[in-house]
Amino acid sequence: MIFWFLTFVVLTASCVLYSGPFSKVYRAHFGDLFGIMFVYFGWRLVIPAPSRNLALCLSACMAYGVEVLQWFEPEFSNQIARFLLGSVFDWKDVAMYTLGLGVAYWMDTSQKGSRNESP
């Protein structure tokens, strides 16, 4: 679990720091994908087992909650809040969050030697 968490920390950070060709697309889409996977595995580390479904629900609530908040176009005076929460609702973000959660959940349930938990 720690391996996946750290992997997605690095991948999410790479999305933020990357400034090469196609950086806007890379940051926008892969940042959402890796970011939600980071959140899922973060919840899995924090919440005692069995916690797959709870981690999935909490991660989904966080991701979709942020997008719903963006629907109302909030004005953030704090640049860090604006960066972390975003400011524009986009269905592509919702799709990337859904894909990321699906992949993270699949990775978690299909890894060899995983704890014997109910999904």
Residue 114 pLDDT grade (very low, low, confident, very high; cuts 50, 70, 90): low
Assess whether pLDDT exceeds 60 at residue 34.
yes
Q: 49-101, pLDDT tens digit by residue?
A: 778 999 999 999 999 998 998 888 777 777 777 766 777 788 999 999 999 99
- Reduced 3-state DSSP string for the chain: CHHHHHHHHHHHHHHHHCCCCCHHHHHHHHHHHHHHHHHHHHHHHHCCCCCHHHHHHHHHHHHHHHHHHHHCCCCCCCHHHHHHHCCCCCHHHHHHHHHHHHHHHHHHHHCCCCCCCCC
Residue 113 pLDDT grade (very low, low, confident, very high; cuts 50, 70, 90): low
pTM of full prediction above 0.85:
no
